[in-house]
């Protein structure tokens, strides 16, 4: 099976992790701050905080922005559940804005309309989580302009997008957001096994996240309610968590970071080659906006069959033929947990149309041209066969 994604660990990565294993610190040592500094410099952002994964980064982003039980968070339905769950962790409500039919990111026109209505109804969102699906940035400038009118905060879920550019600047620079988060899960662009990073240009947010990722405990006497009892003293001044990344993970991340540009460039080469080889009037290829350099975490095609059942059949046959396709994502609000909140099918028409047509093809840096040719040939043949079967 040619998988849809595959991480790569080389000898330099292994050596980096082993050297931490042989050092004095497995966690809370020098590797985490070093990794944070390297990511902050790469992205051109003031603060980067490593955490256990992107899910905890999203949770801390929401908490540090003050999301609470009276509040609402909006996000795209075409994302991983974690982009929405962060609202629920804070006791807030979640709502969904339909996607753009070309980029599959949050639709600016749907967002503008929904905001205007929400203003009238007095239920504006406190936070919008903008998900950069497949590694292509959302239209951040437009979202930022809307935030000035309607007063919401912006979190970029850039789990797919490290190494990508928006308006020629690295995703993660936070020019148009309060916070940006990355995931280093092995399916993503670079990996620390589990791991995530939260980036911001706002010192007060960074300080809050630093506190909350380590139990809400401080050793800074300026923040304490009284003079320290002694040199051992610390105070818990907030309810935090243990969301710290280990030094083993940070060392792996630092080593992987060296190859980030190479990886993203290779992903773009693979995408370009798919675009050249997949020529069928039934298959819609990814659209990349001129303002973006996509990290191409995913290569998503849409198959335009008359009969939606054929999409399901094609997907099954691709897997039977050893092509490890996937589907990103089931509209989040169709998950039973969200249906319990009152969401039901039909809520976001574009997202559901997308879901009935989308297929993520294999894309990963070590994919060979031969493997890619096999994907293209198999896909084109299966689509052709299905079309023939139906017209007979
Ligand atoms: C993978 C992913 C997450 C969660 O990442 P973890 O590091 O596994 O917690 C969140 N949002 C999106 C869009 C993702 O793809």
| DSSP annotation string for 2-39 | B-S------HHHHHHHHHHHTSS-SBSSSHHHHHHHHH
pLDDT for residue 134: 98
pLDDT at 284 over 70: yes
Ligand 1 centroid distance, CA of 155 (Å): 14
Return d(Cα 247, Cα 299) in angstroms, integer. 32
Ligand 1 centroid distance, CA of 61 (Å): 14
- Band of residue 391 on the pLDDT scale cut at 50, 70, 90: confident
82 Cβ below 6 A of ligand 1: yes
56 Cβ below 6 A of ligand 1: no
pLDDT for residue 382: 98
pLDDT at 260 over 70: yes
- Band of residue 51 on the pLDDT scale cut at 50, 70, 90: very high
Ligand 1 centroid distance, CA of 65 (Å): 20
Neighbours of 280 (CB within 10 A): 15
DSSP conformation class of 333: G
DSSP string, 154-205: EEEE-TTTTT-EETTEETTS-TT-SEEEEE--TTSSS--SS-EEEEES-HHH
* Contact call for residues 334 and 345 (beta carbons, < 8 A): yes
- Band of residue 392 on the pLDDT scale cut at 50, 70, 90: low
83 Cβ below 6 A of ligand 1: yes
Classify 296 in phi/psi space as left (phi over 0), alpha (psi -120 to 50) or beta: left
153 Cβ below 6 A of ligand 1: no
pLDDT for residue 390: 81
Separation of CA 280 from chain center: 30
Pocket test of ligand 1: the residue of 5, 52, 55 to mutate, having most ligand atoms within 8 Å of its CB, is 55
Ligand 1 centroid distance, CA of 279 (Å): 32
* Contact call for residues 140 and 128 (beta carbons, < 8 A): no
Ligand 1 atom closest to Cα of 79? 13
Ligand 1 centroid distance, CA of 220 (Å): 32
E strand segments, the chain: 47-51, 72-75, 93-96, 127-131, 153-157, 165-166, 169-170, 179-183, 196-200, 217-218, 235-236, 283-284, 292-293, 299-303, 358-361
51 Cβ below 6 A of ligand 1: no
pLDDT for residue 299: 98
* Digit-coded pLDDT (tens) for 71-88: 999 999 999 999 999 999
Q: Give the mean pLDDT of 316-330.
A: 98
- Band of residue 341 on the pLDDT scale cut at 50, 70, 90: very high
């Amino acid at each position: 099976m040619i998988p849809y994604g595959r991480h790569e660990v080389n000898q330099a990565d292994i050596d980096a992790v082993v050297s931490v294993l042989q050092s004095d610190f497995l966690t809370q040592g020098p590797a985490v701050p070093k990794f944070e500094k390297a990511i902050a410099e790469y992205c051109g952002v003031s603060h980067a905080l490593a955490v256990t994964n992107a899910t905890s980064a999203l949770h801390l982003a929401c908490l540090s922005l003050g999301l609470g039980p009276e509040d609402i968070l909006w996000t795209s339905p075409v994302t991983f559940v974690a982009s929405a769950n962060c609202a629920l962790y804070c006791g807030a409500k979640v709502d969904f804005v339909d996607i753009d039919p070309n980029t599959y990111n949050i639709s600016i026109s749907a967002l503008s309309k929904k905001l205007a209505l929400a203003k009238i109804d007095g239920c504006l969102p406190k936070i919008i989580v903008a998900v950069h699906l497949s590694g292509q940035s959302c239209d951040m400038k437009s979202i930022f302009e809307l935030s000035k009118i309607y007063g919401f905060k912006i979190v970029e879920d850039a789990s797919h997008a490290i190494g990508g550019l928006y308006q020629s600047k690295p995703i993660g620079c936070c020019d148009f957001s309060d916070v940006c988060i990355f995931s280093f899960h092995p399916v993503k662009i670079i990996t620390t096994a589990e791991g995530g990073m939260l980036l911001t240009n706002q010192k007060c947010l960074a300080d809050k996240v630093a506190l909350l990722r380590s139990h809400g405990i401080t050793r800074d006497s300026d923040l304490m309610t009284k003079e320290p009892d002694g040199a051992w003293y610390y105070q818990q001044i907030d309810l935090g968590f243990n969301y710290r990344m280990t030094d083993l993970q940070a060392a792996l991340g630092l080593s992987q970071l060296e190859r980030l540009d190479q990886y993203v460039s290779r992903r773009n080469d693979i995408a370009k080659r798919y675009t050249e080889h997949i020529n069928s009037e039934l298959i819609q290829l990814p659209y990349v906006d001129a303002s973006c350099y996509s990290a191409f975490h995913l290569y998503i095609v849409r198959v335009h069959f008359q009969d939606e059942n054929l999409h399901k059949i094609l997907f099954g046959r691709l897997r039977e033929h050893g092509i490890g396709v996937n589907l990103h994502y089931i509209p989040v609000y169709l998950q039973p947990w969200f249906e319990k909140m009152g969401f039901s099918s039909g809520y976001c028409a574009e997202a559901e149309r997308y879901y009935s047509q989308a297929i993520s093809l294999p894309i990963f840096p070590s994919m060979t041209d031969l493997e890619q040719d096999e994907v293209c040939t198999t896909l084109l043949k299966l689509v052709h066969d299905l079309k023939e079967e139906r017209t007979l």
